[in-house]
Structure 1
Amino acid sequence: MAATQVIRSEWTKIRSVASTVWTLSLAVVVTVALGMLISALSKNETGRMGPRDRTVLDPTYVSFAGMTLGQLAMIVFGVLVVSNEYSTGMIRPSLAAVPRRGTFLFSKVAVAAGLALVVGMATSFAAFFLGQTVLGPLRTSLGDPGVLRAVIGGGLYMTLIAVFSMGVAAMLRSPMLSLGILMPFFFLVSNILGNVSATKKVGQFLPDQAGSRILQVVPRAGDDTPYGPWGGLGIMVLWVAASLAGAYALLRKRDA
């Protein structure tokens, strides 16, 4: 089967599974709604802020507060795209139709990543504009230094989270096992390692800790991270590449 036919087939699979559509929709709603809520709370706190607090406020990052939960939906999307075929047994006829494992895997990843990118960019821009509207006098604009980079980076970050999850799901093959590892990793282990002084130097190189640097415009006080926004995203790309390489290696070696 030609690569274009495989890509078309993968697009049909994703469109036909309601759960993947719902998870992407949830990513948009949660990210935007929570970002607006946190922006409203930040605006209400303005009167209690001293001059110094206002100078370190990052309006762009505030509007992205919902991405913490939005990435949860992107993780679920990435896992479902890959592991649905394993849980239903459809992986056998799929690999029979596309015996070239590399073509099968990377066509699936390319289609899902393209969809995640469109949704991620739309979510990032919507969260930014609506969040800045709510912030009112505290708002910033796309023309300010670093803001456009952060907004575009938000879309890229959400996409990379989804692709990383695809790689992990392809290695583990089980949706429950994949989610059982990814959820605690991103929402518990990573936060602990990134915020405890003894492990902070290790935690800052984890995919979400490094990648989320792209969302920040105003540096945090006392921040000694040894890389910048694009460097952090580059570290995340390396994690994604490693997960896909592992997925490809295992897919070649084992039966469906």
Structure 2
Amino acid sequence: MSSFSAVLNSEWTKIRTVASTLWTLAAAAIVTVAISAALCAFISSSFKDMPAQEQATFDPTLASFAGMSLGQLAMIVFGVLVVGSEYSSGMIRTSLAAVPRRGSFLFGKLLVATGLALVVGLVTSFVSFFVGQAILGERSIGIDEPNVLRAVIGAGLYMAMIALFSMGVAAMLRSSMLSLGILMPFFFLVSNILGAVSATRKVAQYFPDQAGSKIMQVIPGAMGSEKVPYGPWGGFGIMALWVVAAVVGGYLVLRKRDA
């Protein structure tokens, strides 16, 4: 299999014929939209009871993505399965025999999977936004308002980057179980706990999820959150550096180690 287009077609066939990968993408979209809608409904009904600072910094756009913290976990599973399943099934040997150039094999896989994650992420972000704004009613905001479209598109980009980061980590660790055992607790527990503790907050704000999620904010310090020394695109750039490091690490491991 010499041409890169053939590699892309092969990777697309692998992804669409494995039910688990498609179900995780569907779960990422459904969970994000459903939880975001539920939390927007809760905010709408209890807004007057919120602290004055949170009312003053209320960000209706960010509220629409309240379910992202759980939806991203499904995107992590998707990214890990795309790469890790090659090793757990032993398919990696066949894949590398068909595509001896390991760089072409890996980057073809990452390109196809990230493209699919981006499409799902963008659909999810737009649906979450419009559903959330419909629920918020008089406290809603239009997509044509300043920086709102950037935040909505940014939410989709964020989901794709989470998937790509997970693929890079899985390529380095060569194990789905080990990758999930590290990534799930890190994003769901460790990052949130360290971000909530004053002594570690300045470090946690440079973690990929905390930095990258700033692109979804329209109002700095939204909902009473801590302000950070970078803007939305600066935070996304920090996340991009983490992703590049993971992908490069995955490539180096694949190039140097036997299948």
TM bin, normalised by shorter chain, reads over 0.9
Evaluate the alpha carbon distance shift between residue 250 and residue 150 of structure 1 in structure 2; reply closer, same or farther with a 3 A threshold. Answer: same
How many angstroms does 1:191 deviate by?
A: 1.2
How many angstroms does 1:218 deviate by?
A: 1.4
Evaluate the alpha carbon distance shift between residue 20 and residue 50 of structure 1 in structure 2; reply closer, same or farther with a 3 A threshold. Answer: closer
Which residue is 2:258 aligned to?
Answer: 255
How many angstroms does 1:50 deviate by?
A: 7.1
CA distance in 1, matches of 2:236, 2:151: 11
Structure 1 alignment gaps of length 5 or more:
none
> What one-letter code is carried by the residue in structure 2 that aligns with 1:71?
Q
Q: Does 1:161 align with 2:162?
A: yes
Which residue is 1:246 aligned to?
Answer: 249
Which residue is 1:228 aligned to?
Answer: 231
Moved segments of 4+, more than 4 Å = 49-53
> What one-letter code is carried by the residue in structure 1 that aligns with 2:162?
I
How many angstroms does 1:39 deviate by?
A: 0.4
SS at match of 1:140: coil
> What one-letter code is carried by the residue in structure 2 that aligns with 1:15?
R
Q: Does 1:142 align with 2:147?
A: no
Which residue is 1:205 aligned to?
Answer: 206
CA distance in 1, matches of 2:174, 2:236: 27
Which residue is 1:4 aligned to?
Answer: 5
How many angstroms does 1:187 deviate by?
A: 1.0
User: How many percent identity over aligned positions?
Assistant: 64
Aligned pair count reads 256
Which residue is 1:181 aligned to?
Answer: 182
How many angstroms does 1:46 deviate by?
A: 2.7
Q: Show CA shifts across 1:111-144 (max 9, x none).
A: 0000000000000000000000011111011111
RMSD between superposed Cα atoms in Å: 1.2
How many angstroms does 1:33 deviate by?
A: 0.5
How many angstroms does 1:201 deviate by?
A: 1.1
Q: How does 1:1-256 map to 2 (within 5 A)?
A: 1-49=2-50, 53-220=54-221, 221=224, 223-256=226-259
Q: Show CA shifts across 1:182-236 (max 9, x none).
A: 0111111111222211111111111001000111111225744110000000000
CA distance in 1, matches of 2:51, 2:176: 48
TM-score under structure 2 normalisation? 0.96
Evaluate the alpha carbon distance shift between residue 48 and residue 104 of structure 1 in structure 2; reply closer, same or farther with a 3 A threshold. Answer: same
TM-score under structure 1 normalisation? 0.97
